Structure 1
Amino acid sequence: MTERADVLLVPPAVAPDGDDPLTHLLFALKHEGMNLQAAILALKKIPAQSVAQAFQRSPSSGYARIACYLWEIANGQRLEDLPPAVGAYEKLFDEASFVTDRTQRDSRWRVDFNGIGSPSYCISVRRTPALVAMLEADVLGQVEEFVSSIDKGILDRAVRGAYLSETDNSYAIEREKPSASKAEAFANLLSRAHDAESISESYLVALQNLAVSNPLDQADGFRGEQNRLRNEMRGALGVTYLPPPPELVQSVMDAVMALCNDRESKIDALVRGSLASFAFVFAHPFMDGNGRLSRFLFHKVACADPRLANGLVLPVSMAMKRNERDYLAALQSFSKPSRAFWDVTFISDDQIYEDFRGQPEIYRYWDATACVEFGLRMADEALQRDLRQEMDFLRRFDVVYQAINDAVDMNNNDLVLVARTIAEKGDLSNNRTKQLIAKGHDPALVRAAIDAALEALADMDEKGDG
């Protein structure tokens, strides 16, 4: 067999004979690995008798036992009058190929469920080379090591800066500029990421009311109507994503909340944070505010890891804003295929009718590999670029501020502006210098301030503290 991109080439001598769906499913389980959504959907259409006969022919076959195990999940029925399963326990997901969690053992079929979530809601994450490399980089370990080397006073200021940048960029992703009250509300929301409170519907409703300032858009529970995402195009083509129908929202959200609250999980905290964030936004349980809350949930889940201590959050929204095209691609890895299962009839901008032709399983069993890869990349970028640069800026600012303050007598407002500019840019522009002189500062005083700042920075860089 030969793998090429998304295709597995099978020699005719190896390929299954005939068109029997179960034969093809068993062949796929053996040679292609687990695609849980496809397996569940296929088994909903395969008669119980076919699965039972395959098992009776070989009660020790791991693939036959997995087929029986999944058939009962898919159909909500029990296969009766069969001999006991025998043989070693079979793991549902190959641990070398997938990110797996702790085992939930099924003694009837001798199958170990080791997926992310539960048998009724399971997210798949493939161990691609890129994902494995990012896990081995151990971003949270790097965060812990970096933070341990930082003065607590600077760390506290960096935390406040991270809240501010995370607030601004979380709104900016949605093309909004928050008012002062909105920004303060969302920053207060971020401060709750380290709380130990479990996530529930009432908890999420309270957060949604904080994140959404318009009383008309504030929720009192999960939505009971169909939501949709639209772009600038008119007509049905303008509807880009349709989340689960209202009757599925509660069951999907119960699973998402269980994922968020599972502190016994053995999965990397940043992987879990990415999963929680994307699972929430794909469920879209509210009519407004879902994007902001999804990014908050990343922090809520990731911050359960003790290596993110002292109230610190990784400013991932800043990284996402710089990588919006990749963020959209991660979202579309789920939204595009699921959109194909909806018929949309456009009457007018205010009259759009949606008909879900798919199966609930598309919202319960999905592949989050692209989403997790993106989430890990953004966490790493937030550390390497944003957090480290912020800490470096604060150290440089303190050195410059002190040097200017010791050298000249300048009012605090101008002193801060000059120190911030030189710390950021390494010098003061001619234009800014002229502005200070125009305000009444003596040219010699301004020059002395600049010289003192540059000398302090040079000394700092020479010592290797910059």
Structure 2
Amino acid sequence: MPAPLGYEWLKEHCQLSVLPHSVRSYTGGLLGTRANQVKRHEILEQNFPDSARPEETLVGHLLFALKHEGVNPAYLQQVFLQKGVENHIQATIQKRPSSHWSRRLWFWYEYLTETLLPLPDCKAVKYESVLDEERYFTAQPMNVRRYCLRNNLPGHGRFLPLVQKTDALRDASDTRLEQCLHSALADYDEEVFARASRFLTTYETRTSSEIESENITPDKYIRFGRALEMAGQTPLTKERLIEIQNIIKDAHQQEPDYRVEQNYIGGPGPQGVALPPPRPENIEDLMDDWFAMVARLADSNIPASVRAGILSASFVYLHPFMDGNGRISRYLIQDVLAKSGILQPGIILPVSGGILNRQQDYYQTLDRLSRAICAQTDYYIDEAGHITIEGETDHLFRYLDLTHYCQWLCEVINDVAEHLLPKEIDTLVLADRLYRALDQVLDLSAKELRLMVRIILDNKGKLSKRKQKQFEFLTDHDFEQIDQIAAEVLKGTTRK
């Protein structure tokens, strides 16, 4: 029978309250397969020979996990709190103080517990990275003399989401995305470019609201659009997030600070809970740590699309406000892309439009971690529909593996840059041409002309008999002219 190793052994032995690690290791053979590795439900299962089994101790399985399963700060931190483990870690380091893996274990213990072991600094040896840069996205390294290690973590000890370099994510590149955007926008003159910037801002505002199934007034559209136009031009602060959150809220609904009530994502009743976010008393502390992570990421070479994924996803799971968290998360994507210099001034990448086109995938992608968090959370809902979280859960949100979400978002961003962005600008150009051509032969108001243009473009170049009833004052000859003009303007305009 398979016997667990590493993180899975630690989880069972210490009864850890953690989210599943992306790798599980066993000796004794994997059930249902003779392979050394098999992927089940997005978790890589590894089979090792009995000779690879470590000592049946916490430190033995900790070292095995670091060597063969990667880094999981959530597991490490909880194991470090186990009674007596400090002495065993100290003894292991004293036995082999220059060992690469001993130094890593030493670093992680002091880093996550914020407690120094009574040990002298490591003797001078070759510096190694804390995170394997071939496996993870990392930040700018900082030499730590005590362990002769380079701290390249994309966060800090109290908030450290990780993203693995999957085959798909290895292709993520600011240069590649910038070249794609340049190619998409190179054919348009300054006048079209100026019109496109306003159009894309409106489009992003509308689609972001549609994702949340919100209907907002024209005035709120304008205010949120102006906020989007400022993305990348203002520091990301608590005050800025509150400002964005309240932009489309009526005065009596505005939130002056982080939430003070427990909320949840999902439908009514216990079975409808998709995500119970952290308790309100933990939000201020968590968000302070989140902002410290944001600053660390900003000073890194991690591709902007990956950084956008880390910020937007971690923010959604924290859910620091009662409402509007999804909308802010998509603002954060624009903010990261703008600050990276990838986007030309005034241009909004319509990422919400790309998400809306894959809305079911969006929810399923977020739901992967939501279900895992929900499974580790004790809660109940009273008759009035109020949820109460029992016990501490903030540790579930500090060390998320955001690989799957970042990979999905990078796909969306690339698709938007390559296909949706030029398609929407082409549509704008066509609408302008069609408007001007129809205006030369029809005596219609600007409002009526815009309506007609939208109907024709939405209906693949035709003004249907049913839609013609909205313009009953026009003659059959007028409708014939409209069909001819539309056919001429739209001829040969399909972008491949």
TM-score by length of 2: 0.84
Contact 1:92/1:111 (CA < 8 Å) preserved in 2? yes
Residues 71, 271 of structure 1: alpha-carbon distance in 2 compared, 3 angstrom cutoff: same
Deviations 1:294-321 (A, max 9, x none): 1111111221122212311111112222
Corresponding letter in the other structure for 2:324? G
Q: Report the counterpart of residue 223 of structure 1 in structure 2.
A: 259
Residues 465, 2 of structure 1: alpha-carbon distance in 2 compared, 3 angstrom cutoff: closer
- Name the CA distance, whole Å, in 1 between partners of 2:285 and 2:488: 63
Pairs within 5 Å for 1:19-168:
19-45=56-82, 47-82=85-120, 84-135=122-173, 138-168=176-206
Q: How many Å apart are 1:83 and its aligned residue?
A: 5.7
Partner secondary structure for residue 71 of structure 2: coil
Partner secondary structure for residue 270 of structure 1: helix
Corresponding letter in the other structure for 1:428? K
Contact 1:113/1:119 (CA < 8 Å) preserved in 2? no
Is residue 370 of structure 2 the alignment partner of residue 335 of structure 1? yes
Is residue 415 of structure 2 the alignment partner of residue 381 of structure 1? yes
Is residue 289 of structure 2 the alignment partner of residue 255 of structure 1? yes
Q: Report the counterpart of residue 396 of structure 1 in structure 2.
A: 430
Partner secondary structure for residue 60 of structure 1: coil
Greater CA drift, 286-295 or 421-430: 421-430
Contact 2:112/2:157 (CA < 8 Å) preserved in 1? no
Q: How many Å apart are 1:99 and its aligned residue?
A: 1.2
Gaps of 5+ in 2: 1-34
Partner secondary structure for residue 347 of structure 2: coil
Of the candidates 245, 259, 283, which is equivalent to residue 279 of structure 2?
Answer: 245
- Name the CA distance, whole Å, in 1 between partners of 2:115 and 2:467: 79
Q: How many Å apart are 1:102 and its aligned residue?
A: 0.8
Contact 2:274/2:367 (CA < 8 Å) preserved in 1? no
Of the candidates 178, 200, 207, which is equivalent to residue 237 of structure 2?
Answer: 200
Q: Report the counterpart of residue 454 of structure 1 in structure 2.
A: 487
Contact 2:142/2:151 (CA < 8 Å) preserved in 1? yes
Corresponding letter in the other structure for 2:80? L
Contact 1:194/1:303 (CA < 8 Å) preserved in 2? yes
- Name the CA distance, whole Å, in 2 between partners of 1:356 and 1:125: 28
Q: How many Å apart are 1:61 and its aligned residue?
A: 0.8
Residues 300, 465 of structure 1: alpha-carbon distance in 2 compared, 3 angstrom cutoff: closer
Corresponding letter in the other structure for 2:259? R
Gaps of 5+ in 1: none
Pairs within 5 Å for 1:314-329:
314-329=349-364
Is residue 444 of structure 2 the alignment partner of residue 411 of structure 1? yes
Residues 445, 81 of structure 1: alpha-carbon distance in 2 compared, 3 angstrom cutoff: closer
Corresponding letter in the other structure for 1:341? Q
Deviations 1:98-155 (A, max 9, x none): 1111112211011222121223321110111122245499333311332233222222
- Name the CA distance, whole Å, in 2 between partners of 1:211 and 1:433: 33
Contact 1:405/1:415 (CA < 8 Å) preserved in 2? yes
Partner secondary structure for residue 328 of structure 2: helix
Q: Report the counterpart of residue 303 of structure 2 in structure 1.
A: 268
Q: How many Å apart are 1:240 and its aligned residue?
A: 2.5
Q: How many Å apart are 1:238 and its aligned residue?
A: 2.9
Q: Report the counterpart of residue 438 of structure 1 in structure 2.
A: 472
Partner secondary structure for residue 387 of structure 2: strand
Contact 1:92/1:115 (CA < 8 Å) preserved in 2? yes
Q: Report the counterpart of residue 212 of structure 1 in structure 2.
A: 249
Q: How many Å apart are 1:266 and its aligned residue?
A: 1.2
Contact 2:121/2:146 (CA < 8 Å) preserved in 1? no
Q: Report the counterpart of residue 307 of structure 1 in structure 2.
A: 342
Deviations 1:313-342 (A, max 9, x none): 111112222222221222223222222332
Q: How many Å apart are 1:57 and its aligned residue?
A: 1.2
- Name the CA distance, whole Å, in 1 between partners of 2:257 and 2:470: 54
TM-score by length of 1: 0.89
| Count of residue pairs brought into register by the alignment | 455
Deviations 1:327-374 (A, max 9, x none): 12222232222223321123312443221344x432221101112112
- Name the CA distance, whole Å, in 2 between partners of 1:384 and 1:175: 27
Q: Report the counterpart of residue 216 of structure 2 in structure 1.
A: 178
- Name the CA distance, whole Å, in 1 between partners of 2:386 and 2:429: 56
Contact 2:172/2:303 (CA < 8 Å) preserved in 1? no
Contact 1:341/1:356 (CA < 8 Å) preserved in 2? no
- Name the CA distance, whole Å, in 2 between partners of 1:20 and 1:347: 43
Pairs within 5 Å for 1:420-435:
420-431=454-465, 434-435=468-469
Stretches of 4+ moved more than 6 A in 1? none
- Name the CA distance, whole Å, in 1 between partners of 2:139 and 2:244: 29
Contact 2:461/2:490 (CA < 8 Å) preserved in 1? no
Residues 243, 420 of structure 1: alpha-carbon distance in 2 compared, 3 angstrom cutoff: closer
- Name the CA distance, whole Å, in 1 between partners of 2:495 and 2:364: 39
Q: How many Å apart are 1:22 and its aligned residue?
A: 0.7
Residues 449, 246 of structure 1: alpha-carbon distance in 2 compared, 3 angstrom cutoff: closer
- Name the CA distance, whole Å, in 1 between partners of 2:414 and 2:182: 13
- Name the CA distance, whole Å, in 1 between partners of 2:453 and 2:121: 79
Corresponding letter in the other structure for 1:344? Y
Seq. identity, % = 26
Q: How many Å apart are 1:27 and its aligned residue?
A: 1.1
Corresponding letter in the other structure for 2:481? A
Contact 2:106/2:147 (CA < 8 Å) preserved in 1? yes
RMSD: 2.6
Residues 351, 278 of structure 1: alpha-carbon distance in 2 compared, 3 angstrom cutoff: closer
Q: How many Å apart are 1:412 and its aligned residue?
A: 4.1
Deviations 1:376-416 (A, max 9, x none): 1221232234211111112223333344445x243244444
